[in-house]
Amino acid sequence: MQKIKVKKRQILQTKEEINSKVFAVESGLLKSFPVDKNGKEHIFIFAPEGWILAGNNPPTNLATYLQRR
C-alpha cells in the first residue's frame, strides 16, 4: 500500500477509472459519491478515520481488513 497525503475536496478516483484502488483513512473523512448530469453529488458512503474504502464496497474497519488478509 502506498501512503499519499490528500487535500480537502481532492478527487482520488473518477468514474472513468477502474475501481481497483483501496484507500485507508488515517485521519479525516473520505466521501464516495457520483455526480449526476446536473452536477449534483449523491453521497454513496463515508469512510471515517481507521477505515478502508475500496471501490463500491462498504467501508471496513482497518483492523478487520488486515485480519482478512
Q: What does the DSSP assignment read for 12-35?
A: ---TTS-S--EEE-SSSEEEE--B
Distance CA 27, CA 62 (A): 12
* pLDDT, the chain, mean: 83
More confident residue, 64 or 12: 12
pLDDT over 70, % of the chain: 81
Residue 43 lies in a domain: yes
The predicted pLDDT at position 24 comes to 87
Residue 4 domain-assigned (yes or no)? no
26-59 per-position pLDDT tens digit: 999 988 888 899 999 999 888 899 888 876 666 6
Structural domain boundaries enclosing 58:
22-68
Domains: count for the chain: 1
| Cβ atoms 51, 25 nearer than 8 A | yes
At 28 the pLDDT is: 92
Residue 21: which residues within 8 A CB-CB, separation 6 or more? 12, 13, 54, 55
Q: What is the DSSP-derived secondary structure letter of residue 3?
A: -
